[in-house]
C-alpha cells in the first residue's frame, strides 16, 4: 500500500513532542513490512534541512485567499530515515525555524494542506491512503471529498490519527475564503460551534480515525476541549492504537548519547554510571534516589503540581531524595521550579529548555520518572523509561492507564495513582522511596520493565489492519 503521512512534526527533522516521534518511526516500520509509506511536512529552516540534500520533485503555486504563493516539493535524497521524506517549501510562509506558535499559524497550515493537494493532484499521485496527523492536516478529508478542484481524488481513503485532542486549529469563518471552491451544501462538515474546526472536520470526514491509546478514545468523549459530543457520536469510527517506540533510536545498549550503554543484564551497573554523570553535571548527590520529569511544563502534563509534589516529598523524607526536571512551558511553573532549585540546591536540579540528548541521559540515569498528567493521549516518556529500566510513576489516565501496571499487582512494574492531587503523587513518591530502599525488589522490577516489548512491530500491524478496513 502507498501511504502518505501528513504531519507538522517528524523526528529528527522537527520534533516538539510525541507526534514527532510517531511520525518519525511508524512509516519506517510500515516500509519494513513491505508497504510504501512516506512523510510529507512543511520545509522548516532547521538543522536537518540545512545539513541534508534534497531533490526538487515538483513546483507549483497555490492561492491562499487572494494571494498566490509559489511552492516547491523537495525530497530528501538518501531516504536516510527509512522512508521517503517530502517537504513543502514556501518562502515567506513555511520556511520558519519553529514548528508552532506563530500568529499566522492558520495561514501556515492551510497553505501546507492546499499545496499538498495541488502537488498530488497535478503530479497524478495515487495513494491508497492519506493518513493525516492532528489538526494540521485536518482539512484534507473535507477538501478531497467536497471540493470540485480535487474531484479525481474523491475516492481516496483518509485516516486521521489524534495525538492531542485538546488542540483543534479552529479559525473564524471570516477566513473561509482561504479555501478553494467547496460544496456549499456541505459546509456544516467544516463547522464546530460557529467556526471552522479542522480537527472536528477530519473526525467527521475521514473514513476512520484513531487515537494513540484505547483509553484516550473513550476519554475524548468526556474531555476534548468542546468536541465531546462529536466523539460520542462518531465513536464507532474510532480505534485506539497505542504508540510503539523506535527501538533503534531508544536502545540503552547502543544509545550514543549515554555515558555508558547497558543491557538488561548490566542494567544496575549501567544506570549507576549514567546517574553519577548526570548528578555530577547538576551538582547533586548520586547516593539518593533520583526522581525526574521530562516534558512540556503545561497543565495537561500536571506540571503545575510539580513544585508542590517536590516540596512536600522533600519535607516528608528529610531531603533524602533528588529531583531533576527537564522541560519548558508556562512561565509561572518555570519560575516556581527555579525558586525550588534556589531553595534546595542539594536536592533539586532544573533545566529549562528542550534538550534531546539530556532527555536520553535522564531516562538512563534517573531511578524514577514522574508523570502526573491530567491528560495523556499515549505518553511516550513512560515507554522510554521502561526500556531504560527507570520506574514510571504515573497518573492512571489515557495511554498511561493502558501501558503501566502498578507493582502492587501481579506482574506489575510501575507506580500508579488515580486522582490529579499533589497528595496522591506525594504518596506515590513515598512508595517509590520504599521500593528504592528494597534493592532486590527494585532490581527485579528493572528486569521486568526492560523485558517488555513496546516496539512498533505490533502497533504498525494494527495500523495496517486499519488501512485494510478502508479498501473499497
Ligand atoms: P507530548 O504530549 O509532549 O507529545 P509525549 O509523551 O507523547 O508528550 O512525547 C514527549 C516526547 O518529547 C518524548 O520523546 C520526550 O522525551 C520529549 N520531550 C519533551 N520535552 C522535552 C524536553 N524539554 N527536552 C527533550 N525532550 C523532550
Query: Which among 162, 167, 216, 294 is the best mutation to test ligand 1's pocket, defined by most ligand atoms within 8 Å of the CB?
Result: 294
- pLDDT surpasses 90 at 128: yes
CA distances from 351 to 173, 177, 357 (A): 41, 44, 12
For 440, phi then psi, to 5°, come to -60, -40
Q: What is the mean pLDDT of residues 171-196?
A: 97
Architecture of domain 2-244+457-468: 3-Layer(aba) Sandwich (3.40)
What does the alpha-carbon distance between residue 15 and residue 28 come to, in Å, rounded to a whole number? 16
- Do residues 297 and 307 lie in contact, with contact meaning Cβ atoms separated by under 8 Å? no
Q: Which residues have a Cβ under 8 Å from the Cβ of 280 and sit 6 or more positions away?
A: 286
Q: What is the mean pLDDT of residues 10-31?
A: 97
Residue-wise pLDDT for 233-256, tens only, equals 999 999 999 999 999 999 999 999
- Residue in 237, 161, 137 with CA at minimum distance from that of residue 460: 161
CA of 298 to the centre of ligand 1 (A): 12
Length of the chain, please? 472
CA of 446 to the centre of ligand 1 (A): 22
Residue with cell string 507526534: 19
Residue-wise pLDDT for 42-70, tens only, equals 999 999 999 999 999 999 999 999 999 99
User: 379: Cβ below 6 Å to ligand 1?
Assistant: yes
Question: Which helix or strand (DSSP H or E) is residue 4 part of?
Answer: strand 2-6
- Do residues 92 and 71 lie in contact, with contact meaning Cβ atoms separated by under 8 Å? no
Residue-wise pLDDT for 404-451, tens only, equals 999 999 999 999 999 999 999 999 999 999 999 999 999 999 999 999
For 61, phi then psi, to 5°, come to -145, 145
Residue-wise pLDDT for 84-95, tens only, equals 999 999 999 999
What does the alpha-carbon distance between residue 446 and residue 71 come to, in Å, rounded to a whole number? 50
User: 355: Cβ below 6 Å to ligand 1?
Assistant: yes
CA of 276 to the centre of ligand 1 (A): 23
Residue with cell string 520534533: 15
Q: How open is the CA angle 138-143-146, to the nearest 5 degrees?
A: 130
Q: Which CATH number fits domain 267-453: 3.20.20.70, 3.40.50.2000, 3.40.350.10, 3.40.50.2300?
A: 3.40.50.2000
- Residue in 165, 61, 182 with CA at minimum distance from that of residue 122: 61
What does the alpha-carbon distance between residue 314 and residue 309 come to, in Å, rounded to a whole number? 9
3-state secondary structure of 184: helix
Q: What is the pTM of this model?
A: 0.95
- Do residues 309 and 425 lie in contact, with contact meaning Cβ atoms separated by under 8 Å? yes
| Cross-strand pairs, 88 | 42, 73
H helices of 136-249, in order, are 140-146, 198-205, 214-220, 228-233
Looking at the CA of residue 212, tell me the nearest atom of ligand 1: 7
- Do residues 88 and 42 lie in contact, with contact meaning Cβ atoms separated by under 8 Å? yes
> Domain boundaries in the chain?
2-244+457-468, 267-453
User: 329: Cβ below 6 Å to ligand 1?
Assistant: no
Going edge to edge, which strands form the sheet with 368-371? 348-352, 322-329, 290-297, 368-371, 391-395, 415-417
In this prediction, residue 471 has a pLDDT band, given cuts at 50, 70 and 90, of: confident
Residue-wise pLDDT for 265-310, tens only, equals 999 999 999 999 999 999 999 999 999 999 999 999 999 999 999 9
User: 18: Cβ below 6 Å to ligand 1?
Assistant: yes
User: 398: Cβ below 6 Å to ligand 1?
Assistant: no
pLDDT score recorded for residue 472: 64
pLDDT score recorded for residue 140: 98
Q: What is the mean pLDDT of residues 300-324?
A: 98
> Percent of the chain, pLDDT > 90?
99
Residue-wise pLDDT for 358-391, tens only, equals 999 999 999 999 999 999 999 999 999 999 999 9
User: 402: Cβ below 6 Å to ligand 1?
Assistant: no
CA of 406 to the centre of ligand 1 (A): 23
- 141: cell is 478529508
pLDDT score recorded for residue 174: 98
- pLDDT surpasses 90 at 470: yes
User: 361: Cβ below 6 Å to ligand 1?
Assistant: no
User: 381: Cβ below 6 Å to ligand 1?
Assistant: yes
Query: Which among 380, 387, 402 is the best mutation to test ligand 1's pocket, defined by most ligand atoms within 8 Å of the CB?
Result: 380
> Percent of the chain, pLDDT > 70?
100
Looking at the CA of residue 15, tell me the nearest atom of ligand 1: 12
The per-residue pLDDT of the chain, averaged, comes to: 97
For 208, phi then psi, to 5°, come to -140, 160
- 104: cell is 499566522
pLDDT score recorded for residue 351: 98
- Which value, to the nearest 10 degrees, does the dihedral of the CA atoms of residues 294, 298, 301, 302 take? 110
User: 17: Cβ below 6 Å to ligand 1?
Assistant: yes
Same fold, 2-244+457-468 and 267-453: yes
- Residue in 337, 374, 339 with CA at minimum distance from that of residue 353: 337
Cis, peptide link before residue 12, omega less than 30° from 0? yes
Amino acid at each position: 500500500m502507498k501511504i502518505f503521512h501528513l504531519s507538522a512534526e517528524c523526528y529528527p527533522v522537527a520534533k516538539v513532542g510525541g507526534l514527532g516521534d510517531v511520525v518519525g518511526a511508524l512509516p519506517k516500520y510500515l516500509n519494513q513490512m513491505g508497504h510504501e509509506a512516506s512523510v510529507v511536512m512543511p520545509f522548516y529552516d532547521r538543522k536537518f534541512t540545512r545539513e541534508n540534500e534534497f531533490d526538487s520533485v515538483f513546483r507549483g503555486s497555490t492561492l491562499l485567499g487572494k494571494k498566490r504563493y509559489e511552492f516547491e516539493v523537495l525530497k530528501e535524497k538518501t531516504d536516510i530515515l527509512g522512508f521517503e521524506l517530502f517537504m513543502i517549501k514556501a518562502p515567506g510562509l513555511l520556511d520558519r525555524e519553529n514548528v508552532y506558535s506563530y500568529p499566522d499559524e492558520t495561514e501556515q497550515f492551510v497553505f501546507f494542506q492546499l499545496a499538498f493537494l495541488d502537488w498530488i493532484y497535478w503530479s497524478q499521485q495515487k495513494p491508497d491512503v492519506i493518513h493525516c496527523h492532528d489538526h494540521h492536516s485536518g482539512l484534507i478529508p473535507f477538501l478531497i471529498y467536497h471540493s470540485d478542484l480535487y474531484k479525481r481524488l474523491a475516492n481516496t481513503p483518509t485516516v486521521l490519527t489524534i495525538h492531542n485532542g485538546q488542540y483543534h486549529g479552529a479559525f473564524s469563518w471570516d477566513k473561509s475564503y482561504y479555501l478553494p471552491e467547496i460544496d456549499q451544501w456541505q459546509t456544516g462538515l467544516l463547522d464546530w460551534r460557529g467556526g471552522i474546526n479542522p480537527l472536528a472536520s477530519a473526525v467527521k470526514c475521514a473514513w476512520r480515525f484513531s487515537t494513540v491509546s484505547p483509553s484516550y478514545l473513550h476519554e475524548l468523549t468526556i474531555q476534548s476541549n468542546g468536541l465531546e459530543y462529536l466523539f460520542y457520536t462518531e465513536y464507532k469510527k474510532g480505534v485506539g492504537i497505542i504508540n510503539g517506540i523506535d527501538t533503534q533510536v531508544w536502545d540503552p545498549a547502543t544509545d550514543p548519547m549515554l555515558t555508558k550503554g547497558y543491557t538488561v543484564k548490566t542494567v544496575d551497573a549501567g544506570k549507576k554510571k549514567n546517574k553519577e554523570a548526570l548528578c555530577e553535571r547538576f551538582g547533586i548527590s548520586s547516593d539518593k534516589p533520583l526522581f525526574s520529569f521530562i516534558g512540556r511544563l503545561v497543565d495537561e502534563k500536571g506540571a503545575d503540581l510539580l513544585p508542590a509534589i517536590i516540596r512536600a516529598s522533600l519535607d516528608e523524607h528529610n531531603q533524602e531524595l533528588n529531583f531533576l526536571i527537564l522541560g519548558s512551558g508556562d512561565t509561572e511553573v518555570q519560575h516556581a521550579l527555579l525558586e525550588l532549585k534556589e531553595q534546595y540546591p542539594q536536592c533539586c536540579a532544573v533545566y529549562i529548555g528542550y534538550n534531546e540528548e539530556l532527555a536520553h541521559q535522564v531516562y538512563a540515569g534517573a531511578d524514577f520518572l514522574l508523570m502526573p498528567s491530567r491528560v495523556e493521549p499515549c505518553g511516550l516518556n513512560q515507554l522510554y523509561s521502561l526500556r531504560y529500566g527507570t520506574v514510571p510513576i504515573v497518573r492512571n489516565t489515557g495511554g498511561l492507564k493502558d501501558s503501566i501496571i502498578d507493582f502492587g499487582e501481579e506482574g506489575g512494574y510501575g507506580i500508579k495513582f488515580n486522582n490529579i492531587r499533589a497528595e496522591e503523587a506525594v504518596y506515590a513518591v513515598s512508595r517509590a522511596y520504599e521500593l528504592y530502599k528494597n534493592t532486590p525488589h527494585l532490581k527485579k522490577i528493572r528486569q521486568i520493565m526492560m523485558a517488555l516489548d513496546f516496539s512498533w512491530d505490533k502497533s504498525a500491524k494494527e495500523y495496517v489492519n486499519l488501512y485494510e478496513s478502508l479498501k473499497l
